[in-house]
Chain A
Amino acid sequence: MSDDVAIVGIGIHPFGRHEGVSGMEQGAIAIRKACEDAGISWNDLQFAFGGSVAAGSPDHMVSQMGLTGLQFINVVNGCATGGSALISTFNTIKSGAYDLGVAVGFDKHERGAFRVQTGKQGERDWYGGSGMALTTQFFGMKINKYMEDYGITQSSLAKVASKAFRNGSKNENAWRRQAFGEEEVLQSQMLSYPLTQYMFCSPGEGGVALVLARADKAHQYTDKPIFLKSAVVRSRKYGSFEVLAPSLALDYADGPTVDASKAAFEAAGIGPEDIDIAQLQDTESGAEIMHMAENGFCEHGEQEKMLADGETEITGRLPVNTDGGCLANGEPVGASGLRQVYENVLQLRGQAGKRQVPDSPKVAYTHVYGAPGISGVTILSA
């Protein structure tokens, strides 16, 4: 493993709904906190990558942060927008171009956002018009098929959601901080069989910023640098089963998560068995279950027993989504992938408070997945 790039400062604006606070302000607040954490000021930053899908062009924030003339590049890349800002920051430092920069991601989505308009201009939208083109349907179909194929039960779906809200109740920056039992999860409205309302995350708001530095200079900024071992994004290949597809190929191929995961492990020179803690995309609770296997942490079907045995709880063998994941935090698309990294930095520093994973975790993993069939993975080490 090479130690080229370190995370030396982290900042977050709480997730949820914040009337009167723009998405960009939430990003700016996150940057100020990250700079404070690294003991630097905005003046010291040589470059920035900013990601937002629905809350404006991130570089416009220089007018409130300070017109220092730094290189500021905007990134929009579907559900991997935040992750892509981080990868770009990582690679810029690795390349030797700069020593100190920030990755920021923020967003602000209305209730029920993520409505999809399909069809060509000037003709009737037959896809959405017929009652398809809903991302929730894709998630329902994928987990329903997976449950049939690998013997996963609805009780496991409820366990994942219940764990998310329990972990969220220990996270002061989470949106949903009320714990729900498995029965309450199962009895909430059935949205897209077999998934109920409490098994789905919601569009939300929030911002996260991460200050990155050349690893050999990291101790100037922090006594607990966290090293970014790899950061990878992959798009889909022919035959994979993705959201919003009016047709699929007869051939079946693994999704982009499998490719991104393999590439990230290879770049870091380690394997899934070396990971102490993982934040996995949980757009709905079935996604977390499928992503446990797609990221290499178990065989397909083993999740049923792992969940029954509590292996993914904060005190388990492989804690998953310790901050409550998307289910408890909501999904501001530009910030979501960076939230996962923020949580892992806290955990590796030993600063996660009530939800701290015991026995000083050393290696941590993040994974985002989303439209239009894109996946991003990072591996961090203390």
Chain B
Amino acid sequence: MGQVSINENVMDLTPDGPRLKGMRCKECNNHVFPMQSGCPKCTSDNVEEVQLGNKGTLWAWTIQGFPPKAPPYLGEANPEKFKAYGVGYIELPGQLKVESRLTISDPTQLKSGMMMEIVGEAIGEDENGNELVTFAFAPTD
């Protein structure tokens, strides 16, 4: 029983924390997350998988104030126990803006432009009792 990535096709769990796998277009350098087979910017299919950056700035955000439907949600969906969480887009320099959970759920502590970095967040368990880890972004200080 250990920790496993919520989905290895989109995220690796490394000793330094989660790392996201994205698409880079070799023709126009456009990035997309997760990996896909063609570039929506220039229409080329000459693309490769790359690891996305682990730090960036908050671009837009909200707070998820009610439990999402389960399934598909893997986290706590019981309204009695549910805890609100932040959701936002983080701009990764030179790559893209990635949508992510945020570790902060207090609107007074979130501001566009703040520096954030990726961290792992336990969201549930798989069928073998391993802890499923997804990604979230946390303020860098």
Contacts and interface: CB of A to CB of B under 8 A. Distances in A.
B73 A131 contact: yes
Tell me whether chain A's interface is mostly helix, strand or loop, or mixed.
Answer: loop
B41 A142 contact: no
Interface stretch (A49-57, A133-141, A324-332): A133-141
A122 to B, nearest CB: 11
7 contacts: A124-B6, A126-B134, A130-B134, A145-B61, A193-B63, A246-B34, A247-B98
A125 to B, nearest CB: 5
Contact of A112 (B33, B69, B94, B124): B69
Q: Which one of A145, A189, A194 has the highest number of Cβ atoms from chain B below 10 Å of its Cβ?
A: A145
B134 to A, nearest CB: 4
Contact of A144 (B9, B61, B65): B61
A195 B63 CA distance: 10
A298 interface: no
Contacts of B98: 246-247
A63 B122 CA distance: 54
B97 A126 contact: no
B6 A137 contact: no
Contacts of A190: 63, 65
Interface string B24-52: 00000011111000001100000000000
Contacts of B137: none
Interface of B: 6-7, 9-11, 22, 30-34, 40-41, 59-66, 68-69, 71-75, 85, 87-89, 91, 94-101, 107, 112, 123-124, 132, 134-135
B63 A192 contact: yes
Contacts of A245: 99
Nearest to A146: B60
Given A144-B61, A247-B32, A129 B72 contact: yes
Nearest to A195: B62
A134 B68 contact: yes
B72 A118 contact: yes
Given A115-B69, A189-B66, A192-B65, A123 B7 contact: yes
Interface residues of A, number: 41
For the complex of A and B, 10 pairs with smallest distance between CB atoms: A128-B72, A140-B62, A126-B7, A247-B33, A193-B63, A145-B60, A130-B134, A129-B74, A248-B97, A141-B60
A144 B30 CA distance: 27
Contacts of A115: 69
B134 A129 contact: yes
A103 to B, nearest CB: 32
Contacts of B124: 129
Contacts of B40: 238
A131 B69 contact: no
A249 interface: yes
Nearest to B123: A130
B69 A124 contact: no
B86 to A, nearest CB: 9
B101 A130 contact: yes
A273 interface: no
A247 B30 CA distance: 12
Given A130-B74, A192-B62, 7 more contacts: A117-B72, A130-B123, A131-B73, A137-B62, A140-B62, A141-B87, A238-B41
